[in-house]
Chains A and B, each alone.
Chain A
Amino acid sequence: MGQNEFVKLIAPFKDKVFRLAKRLLISSEEAEDATQEVLIKLWSRNKNLDDFNNIEAFAMTMTKNYCLDQLKSKRAGNLQIVHNDFANNEPSSEKIVEDNDSLDWVEKIINQLPVQQRLIIQFRDVEQYEFEEIAKILDMNETAIRVALSRARKTVREYMIKAHSYGIK
């Protein structure tokens, strides 16, 4: 497989890889690095890439694992503050998210969820994967995913209702 072919192959999901990395790592720069790293890893396996019948799911699993490793080493290196300090300075859609205060709120709440729930929210509510696909990526059963998803959504709702009633009172 040539480079051009490979780039075409990953085009449909490279943004998803980036968004997932950003959901987990928060900082855009880190997410960009992670995306490059994952794509390089995919590229280095490109000879037996055809064996994986669902490359997108495979890439998602790789991204997830890579980011979790990254978080682990960051925590060990005590560098977590970096994420909060340098979080967002990306243009366009992200800017819009930031400009809108209540949307910003939602992002903050979601990013405070436990990693597992964050992953599931990202896959289901942002990327709109079917439960079956999420189950494959996360290696969990669908019921557990539904339970975690429900819990995550309810947490977000709780915070939003609180924020909303603060607004009124």
Chain B
Amino acid sequence: MESNKIETLLEKYFRGETSIAEENQLRDYFSSPNVSPNLEQYKPIFGYLALAKEQNFEQEIVLKSKKRNLAWLSIAASVVVLLGIGTYSYFNYYNINQNQDLGTYDDPEIAFRETQKALSMLSTHLNTGIESVQYIQEYENSKNLIFKQQ
């Protein structure tokens, strides 16, 4: 083919001034079997460029994003945690309200009787406590036997 024309096209090509049509002309020329020997070194360039367009994306397209699922999962988890805290504190509050009964009396007479009962109960318990330490007096006696008091 007119190798002169190809050479001028090549010059244009390397200046970045060729159109797509002209570039296709160059591709066709270099993919044909009769490339002029002095242009042989350009053959691989155009050969590669043509081949590079043949690579395809073979994988199946997966349109489900894993990130979004994770976001929903975290939202769900935080809702569960909030609900848990909410119910826990609600029941705690309820229980505290139930334990508000302090055993007070409105009638002073009953109150007096109850107080007496409580105090006598306290004093009996105190006396049993004192009885159980009475025997300490024995130690005191034997100590006085040994160490003469002046």
Task: Enumerate chain A interface residues (CB-CB to B < 8 A).
Answer: 3, 6-7, 10, 14-15, 17-19, 22, 32, 35-36, 39-40, 43-44, 90, 92-94, 96-97, 100, 102-103, 105-107, 110, 125-128, 130, 145-147, 149-150, 153-154, 156-157, 160-161, 163-164
Contacts and interface: CB of A to CB of B under 8 A. Distances in A.
Interface residues of B, number: 31
A96 B59 CA distance: 20
Interface string B46-83: 01110111111101011111001000000000000000
A93 B54 contact: yes
A50 B140 CA distance: 106
A14 B51 CA distance: 17
A3 B44 contact: no
B48 A106 contact: yes
The residue among A35, A125, A149 with the most chain B CB atoms within 10 A of its own CB is A125
Interface of A, helix, strand, loop or mixed by DSSP: helix
Interface of B: 13-17, 20, 23-24, 40-45, 47-49, 51-57, 59, 61-65, 68
24 contacts: A15-B57, A32-B57, A35-B57, A39-B63, A40-B63, A93-B54, A96-B51, A100-B47, A103-B48, A105-B44, A106-B45, A106-B49, A110-B48, A126-B49, A127-B53, A128-B23, A128-B24, A130-B20, A147-B16, A150-B14, A150-B15, A157-B45, A161-B41, A164-B41
